[in-house]
Amino acid sequence: MIYYYSGCGNSRFVAKSLSEALGEELRFIPDLIDKGIKEFDCEGGLLGFVFPVYAWNVPTLVRDFIKNACWKGKPEYVWFACTCGDNIGFTDREFRKIMASVSLELNACFTFQMPETYLCFPGFSLDTEENAKLKNDAVKEKISIVADQIRNKQTVLDLIPGKHPWINTHIIGSLFKLTISDSAFHTTDDCIGCGVCERSCPVHNITMEIQKPSSEGGQDGQMKETVVKRPKWNGNCLQCMACYHYCPKNAVQYGRLTAGKGQYYFK
């Protein structure tokens, strides 16, 4: 079984590819949370987790999901694969602590460097198209190697800790978490009210709300009221950036920090 979370599709691609290569069932963590499913039988099998690195750590949603669940039985082999834009700090150590808290032992960690998705700080930008392609091509090649290692139940520490991993995970990452907020998300006049942002949000934090009814002349000369809907962010955001990247009009923006920075999601 593979449990995964993804905002912009990078981790979804890795999870799906590994699930196909290994013949393992795939389950999307936000769906399980929505359905209130908390008991999992992992006796004797492979138990895998795939997620993006957020602030050199395991995303809170993944951490809480694992800690709040009941993992029944003893799996034969436990692994995780994380995707990151750059490096993961001590994500592996944090994940190992989460596993220990639910009495599971980790056998292998894998890291996939993929295109960057986070843009909400000054100075943060996307990979160039060329670099994004290079990263994704390398990931596609690496999938079968990782699948073999998992199939053979190898002990693997495939990590990209980067420089100063302790400071990044424990100091900068903790400060970063305090800045997570959706209050700066808004739409520009290019928004067409299509609702893609609402549907792309993995935690249903966006609702489409009637903004202002406007009156227009119809073909018959009668005034008709058109309903204009716009997204509203409801304060339970992971800052996964899906609403921003999937918007077909690039109309979702975060304060002034995302203007002109372009969009990316895994295609």
SS3 125: coil
Q: Does 246 bind ligand FMN (CB under 6 A)?
A: no
Q: Does 6 bind ligand FMN (CB under 6 A)?
A: yes
Q: Which of 114, 108, 106, 169 is nearest to 137 (CA)?
A: 114
- Which listed residue (98, 241, 247, 251) binds ligand FMN by CB under 6 A? 241
Q: Does 98 bind ligand FMN (CB under 6 A)?
A: no
Reading the block at residue 167, the tokens are 């400071």
Closest contact distance (angstroms) between CB of 205 and ligand FMN is: 14
Residue partners of 33: CB distance under 8 A and separation at least 6: 61, 65
Q: Are 100 and 94 in contact (CB under 8 A)?
A: no
Q: Does 29 bind ligand FMN (CB under 6 A)?
A: no
- Which listed residue (2, 11, 111, 206) binds ligand FMN by CB under 6 A? 11
CA distances from 147 to 3, 22, 27, 30, 75 (A): 15, 6, 17, 24, 17
- Which listed residue (136, 200, 239, 258) binds ligand FMN by CB under 6 A? 239
CA distances from 95 to 78, 104, 208 (A): 11, 11, 35
By C-beta, is 54 or 185 nearer to ligand FMN? 54
Q: Does 49 bind ligand FMN (CB under 6 A)?
A: no
Tell me the residue type at 43: E
Map the footprint of ligand FMN across residues 182-211, applying CB under 6 A: none
SS3 112: strand
- Which listed residue (25, 34, 86, 137) binds ligand FMN by CB under 6 A? 86
DSSP structure class, residue 76: S
Question: What is the contact mask toward ligand FMN in residues 50 to 69, using x (rule: CB under 6 A)?
Answer: --xxxxx-------------
By C-beta, is 83 or 107 nearer to ligand FMN? 83
Give the binding site for ligand FMN (CB under 6 A): 6-12, 52-56, 83-87, 114-118, 239-241, 266
